[in-house]
Structure 1
Amino acid sequence: MNSLFKKGSTKLLILLLLADLAFIVVHIIFELFLKSNTLFSINRDLGYAEVYQYIKEFWILVLLFVLAVKSKRMIYFSWSLLFLYLLLDDSLQLHENIGSYLANHHQLQPVFRLRAQDLGELMVFVSVGFLLFSFVGGAYFYSDDSGKEISKHLFILVISLAFFGGLVDMLHIAVSFGKPVFALIEDGGEMIIMSIIVWYVFDIRSHQLYNSDNAIIVEQNR
């Protein structure tokens, strides 16, 4: 049964990545040849690819919340809050709107080819990231070995997500060449990392179900 879960979760990862690849290929085709419908662009807010990202973020936070309820572990709940914020931030453009307010309120000046708006958004990322990871860190301190191991993996994946959504995004803005390429790397990278996170969290949930079923069978055989 355990092998079935592994096969099932691997198939899920393949399907997710194939969907990502399809969106990326369609994006390239429309950017190069058609440009008739920007909804096919992976850079477009509320475009088809972006909505697909929202769905993945929703799956992740739901799976983590279910894990938190079933296992009664705060560590999973803290991670679910982080992905809830990511979903709200992406869908409601929180860091853009708050970043714009901060840039105007503090009269930020452009630096290193970054706009005042970009600096405001960076302030939002750092502030919210500090709060959310402080909560995760507190839960990590009281978690068991399994929760700590899973948190390490999720942390690496979220940092990878931040690399594409933060650093590559800043490069996309700061450099004066290859902007379409940087935009493709940024959003394409985010899509792939988010798919890996969906797969990873689904795999955790699958193993929990497997262990739970085994425990019930053992109890019934006594």
Structure 2
Amino acid sequence: MILLAADALLLAVHAVHLVLRRWGAEQNIVTDFLLNTVWNGQNDRSVVEIWGYLQLATAALLLFYLSFRQIQGYAYAVWALIFLIMTADDVLEWHENIGAVFSDSRSDALVFGAPAYAVGQILFWALVAAMLGALLLLAHRRSSPATRRGSTQLMAGTVLLAVFAVGVDLISAIVMETMGRTAYAVTVYIETIGELVFMSVILIVVLRLSTQYRAGKKHSSDLDLVS
């Protein structure tokens, strides 16, 4: 609940920032603070974005730990790799760079109603998802039943995250081309909500898996003492 409460606070500040930027306000210390671009969740290196990817990086580190400590925890190692790649992509802007190359080659024309740069970004993630998905499937099949259950929960959270990070992101690009900046800002805000909330959900799932592992180890130790 603490993670989701932090999300709600940051998203509220983001909303206030957008309103002030769109309609303006009397200049004072408070409005100057809220108009700082670090509160705009659609910007790279914003507070919202950094908070979200800190959660993913934390989830990745915990999953690496679980993959080594838990018997046949192979799927957790792949999930850790997936979340680290997602974090690295944000820092190094891989999909943005691929989108820019695709846009240059297409002269920024529309492709299936979407800007070329957006299609390039989606193609990049489709290729990455195919490779990592194959690796995850192999690891999932070789993992223990407990690990497979946890992996399924992580899959659910990641799919929902992708709906916003990829699906709504594509919609926002189309909206920008067809409906203008206000509609675009609303769509991007919805995208930001979904991304941040499901990053938190993923970390919550990982924390719960870690708690279950520790509880199981403690139970085994207690049984050893009794015997």
TM-score over 0.5 for the pair: yes
Q: Which residue of 2 aligns with 1:40?
A: 39
1:110-121 equivalent positions in 2, closer than 5 A: 110-121=110-121
Name the CA shift for 1:174/1:64 in 2 (closer, same or farther; >3 Å).
Answer: same
CA distance in 2, matches of 1:90, 1:162: 14
2:111 aligns to what SS in structure 1? coil
The answer on 1:27 being equivalent to 2:14 is yes
1:128-143 equivalent positions in 2, closer than 5 A: 128-143=128-143
Q: Which residue of 2 aligns with 1:87?
A: 87
After superposition, give the CA deviation of every residue in 1:20-67 in whole Å (9 maximum; x if it has no partner): 111111011111124631111111110111111121011110010000
1:1-222 equivalent positions in 2, closer than 5 A: 14-33=1-20, 34=31, 36-72=35-71, 73-104=73-104, 109-175=109-175, 176-177=178-179, 178-222=183-227
Q: What 5-or-longer segments of structure 1 have no aligned partner?
A: 1-13
Contact 1:27 1:41 survives alignment (8 Å): yes
After TM superposition, give the deviation of residue 129 of structure 1 in Å: 0.5
One-letter code of the match for 2:202? I
After superposition, give the CA deviation of every residue in 1:59-117 in whole Å (9 maximum; x if it has no partner): 11001000001114211101111001111011221111123234445778422332211
1:43 aligns to what SS in structure 2? coil
Name the CA shift for 1:184/1:101 in 2 (closer, same or farther; >3 Å).
Answer: same
After TM superposition, give the deviation of residue 136 of structure 1 in Å: 0.5
One-letter code of the match for 2:47? Y
1:190 aligns to what SS in structure 2? helix
CA distance in 2, matches of 1:220, 1:98: 57
1:61 aligns to what SS in structure 2? helix
Q: What 5-or-longer segments of structure 2 have no aligned partner?
A: 21-30
TM-score by length of 1: 0.88
One-letter code of the match for 2:56? E
Q: Aligned pair count?
A: 209
After superposition, give the CA deviation of every residue in 1:135-171 in whole Å (9 maximum; x if it has no partner): 1001111122222222221111111001001111111
CA RMSD of aligned residues (A): 1.7
CA distance in 2, matches of 1:38, 1:206: 37
CA distance in 2, matches of 1:106, 1:143: 44
CA distance in 2, matches of 1:99, 1:127: 13
Higher RCO (CA-CA < 8 Å; seq separation 6+): 1
Name the CA shift for 1:107/1:133 in 2 (closer, same or farther; >3 Å).
Answer: farther
Contact 2:95 2:124 survives alignment (8 Å): yes
TM-score by length of 2: 0.87
1:130 aligns to what SS in structure 2? helix
